[in-house]
């Protein structure tokens, strides 16, 4: 692991237009090592353009997209530092999966033994010598992921990696993302499968029309602008409300005999109640789904 700072990827006021179409506008956010960051947005929001700009495939009009301050094409050993799966995983149909990886291993100066290792890792060893045109979409996606893992990179960038995967494949992908982050790697994953993302990511970045709409930890984004929201019921409701207000939490009636506490997770509310010996009848997080947040931030775009 070569991480010197916690910031693995940094977008700084990135802009890109194609003719009169502004694909990405003044986009700034960062991705940390050891975390999975979900990159969300409707179709045409600019996600792929952003990722391709980061990888040196598209030239930005303004701003920068770097890995620890260094552009992808200037990294001393790019495919050893960054592994990427882009949306349209591309292979020569007449070439076997193994040969596809052999080519990339040779070009990236990775040891040939990595080919077998990643084929095993993505559970594709049995089909490695078949031509890619006979692969299912899920197998192609696994091959693309194998290619990204060839250089044992510190940073993984995945554009819609669950496309074409069956339910076991999606679970496998989720486990892979989590295990890579647990090893200290930075994972940036774009997806439109919000339920999948909500189970995999630590942080979320939402864009629409190429503009940043929201970002932060999953919990903070799900909590909205005020942070997490908790519903509580107690015998001494007025006293509890007073105690919570004393601690600068926003408290309001929930309309059914309880309280809504904004800006406090259930653990915080529970601790206040326990400290002051207030018996609780109910203590639950008021969950907003990622889908709710997504539509709110993108103004209902699908």
What DSSP string runs through 92-157?
Answer: -TTSBHHHHHHHHHHHTT--THHHHHHHHHTT-GGGTTSBGGGS-HHHHHHHHHHHHHTT--SEEE
Kindly give, in sequence order, each residue whose CB lies less than 8 Å from that of residue 140, ignoring residues fewer than 6 positions away.
Answer: 89, 91, 132, 164
Interface residue with other proteins, options 15, 99, 220, 250 (CB under 8 A): 99
CA 161 – CA 145 distance, rounded (Å)? 8
Ramachandran angles phi, psi of 266, nearest 5°: -55, -35
Interface residue with other proteins, options 1, 21, 106, 137 (CB under 8 A): 106
User: Interface with other proteins includes 92 (CB under 8 A)?
Assistant: yes
- 130 to 159: interface string for other proteins, x by CB under 8 A: -----------------x------------
Stretch that binds other proteins, among 46-54, 229-237, 245-253, 283-291 (CB under 8 A): 46-54
Provide the angle, in degrees to the nearest 10, between the axes of the packed helices 137-149 and 113-121.
Answer: 130
Nearer to other proteins, 23 or 221 (CB): 23
Interface residue with other proteins, options 34, 56, 68, 216 (CB under 8 A): 56
Least CB distance to other proteins at residue 56 (A): 5
The secondary structure element, H or E, covering residue 162 is: none
Interface residue with other proteins, options 12, 26, 44, 57 (CB under 8 A): 57
Q: Which residues bind other proteins (CB under 8 A)?
A: 18, 48-49, 52, 55-59, 72-73, 75, 78-79, 84, 86, 88, 90-96, 99, 102-104, 106-109, 147
């Amino acid at each position: 692991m070569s991480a010197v700072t916690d910031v693995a990827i940094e977008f700084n006021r990135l802009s890109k237009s194609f003719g009169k179409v502004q694909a990405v506008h003044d986009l700034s956010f960062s991705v940390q090592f050891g975390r999975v960051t979900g990159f969300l947005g409707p179709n045409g929001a600019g996600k792929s353009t952003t990722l391709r700009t980061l990888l040196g495939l598209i030239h930005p009009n303004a701003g920068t997209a770097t890995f620890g301050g260094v552009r992808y094409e200037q990294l001393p050993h790019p495919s050893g530092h960054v592994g990427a799966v882009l949306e349209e995983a591309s292979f020569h149909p007449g070439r076997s999966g193994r040969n596809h990886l052999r080519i990339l291993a040779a070009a990236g100066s990775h040891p040939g033994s990595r080919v077998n290792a990643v084929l095993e890792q993505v559970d594709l060893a049995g089909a490695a010598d078949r031509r890619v045109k006979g692969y299912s979409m899920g197998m192609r996606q696994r091959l693309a992921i194998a290619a990204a893992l060839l250089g044992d990179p510190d940073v993984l960038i995945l554009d819609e990696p669950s496309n074409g995967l069956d339910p076991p494949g999606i679970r496998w992908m989720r486990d892979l993302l989590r295990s890579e982050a647990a090893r200290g790697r930075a994972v940036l994953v774009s997806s439109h499968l919000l339920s999948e993302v909500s189970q995999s990511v630590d942080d979320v970045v939402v864009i629409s029309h190429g503009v940043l709409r929201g970002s932060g930890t999953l919990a903070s984004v799900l909590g909205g602008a005020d942070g997490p929201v908790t519903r509580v019921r107690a015998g001494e409701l007025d006293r509890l409300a007073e105690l919570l207000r004393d601690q600068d939490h926003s408290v309001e009636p929930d309309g059914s005999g309880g309280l809504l506490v904004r800006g406090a997770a259930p653990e915080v509310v529970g601790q206040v109640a326990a400290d002051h010996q207030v018996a609780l009848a109910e203590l639950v997080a008021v969950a907003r789904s990622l889908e709710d947040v997504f539509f709110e931030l993108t103004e209902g775009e699908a």
